[in-house]
Structure 1
Amino acid sequence: MLSSSSHVSPSAALRVFLIDDEPLARLRLRQLLADMVVPTVTVVGEAASAAAALQWLSQYRADLLLLDIRMPGLDGLALAERLRHWHDVPAVVFVTAHPEHALAAFDVEAFDYLTKPVRRVRLQEALMRVMHRLGRVPRPMVETTHPMGLEEEPAIMVSVRGQVIRVPLTEVLYLKAELKYVTLRTARSIFVLDESLTDLEPRLGPRFLRVHRNALVARQAIRELMRRPAAPDSEDERDGGELWSVLIAEVDEWLTVSRRQLPAVRDALVAEGL
């Protein structure tokens, strides 16, 4: 059984309650929250209807509701409106497949409005907003210094079978968008991320170069730029049946360079002395 506490540590985990009539949607949120490194999150319960949520909330406490809008019976907007009159009301972040309700959501003082399928980076942004509003201080995702005071190498945090693994940026050769996911390639491993290249690019910094709309490559990993025969079913820009490509060190893979990005890739290679 869960009980509430009158005192909350500034660094305490965010207590999250899930409300969605779709079991798979709740499972997806649980998986995203389980993989979250910052802020620390505890899923304290879930409900498939507003009525069940009201019953739970009348007995237990949550800091945040991740709330669907369209549900049988009382919908999410009506539930949020009812909760506004409660004492110690939880924060509300709507998670819905219907973007047309955004204005109504903020009328009931929602903290954020996420559309399905939810991306980890947007969910994290919403959680951080709630944490700051509650006066909590989340621990940093990556420590900036070693115990000896030396700067730590920046890294990407990836989730593998429920474990969070730190991949230093110096080990990343490239990131490539494929279908709904992004593949992160090192010399020894391949990881799958559910963040977009657009979200990742500004966080990677100048050491990575966009060579195509679907690929970011570490500058130090590029060994050669040349024209190569295009695959028969390639949808990329063709020039006499050939495509510009870069050779990736250590794995000897070729990645296509788009015509739009070709000047920037050439300039970068000249700057690197290649």
Structure 2
Amino acid sequence: MSEALRLLLVDDEAPARARLRDLLGDIAAEVPSTVVAEAADGFAALERAQAGDLDVALIDIRMPGMDGVELARHLARLPSTPAVIFVTAFDQYAVQAFELAALDYLVKPVRATRLADALRKARRHADDAVRLEKSALAIRQNLSCLERGRILLVPVAEILYLKAEQKYVTAHTAGREYLLEESLVHLEAEFSERFLRIHRNCLVARAVVTGVERAADEGDGEAHWQVILDGTTERLPVSRRQWAQVKTLLKLAG
């Protein structure tokens, strides 16, 4: 690490970022730091963080588009993860923050002495390669896919279905496929309101199921069905075990 901590300030309010800059100036003699970049939302912060030259990210929690908790979870997948210090006006997220292995949690208005303590902690932990753990406490708006050394965000709202293939799960959207390093079981638990299991290896978005059709006869004399999805011409088989849930979904939709 360089002598001065390299910081990323993430807050959707410019005055809040300016306030942090002022505080950092006040404690510069005690804890030298330099603000490498600022971001007004989680998407811009994640893009900037991929450069890999940050020691600490000071992150607000309530932001439009992607909140600070989700940002921290995506940052955890970077090859070089900055230490995360949450800076927020709300204290009810503290449990989630520490579940995510955040280094500290500061409540606005932040005092200079409190900020200095947090940054000293960041310096002490700088060589430990602090990694944030995944948490199921918050439902994500985006999944992340590591592709050619970069993280791509996959909006959950755009996913038509998720299919387990060997050790990966493939997320299928209308435009393309993404390989995810997550288990289908974990995704089903987190997104149970959005996705329905139709087979042991497949979850479909409830909102895009438009109907079912009879599959080719497999010679056992029993009916076999496939779901029809809006947004794709592909038909996905329904297992006997999951058929009752699919029928219930179609009845509710009708």
Q: Provide the TM-score with structure 2 as the length reference.
A: 0.48
Q: TM-score, normalization: structure 1?
A: 0.45
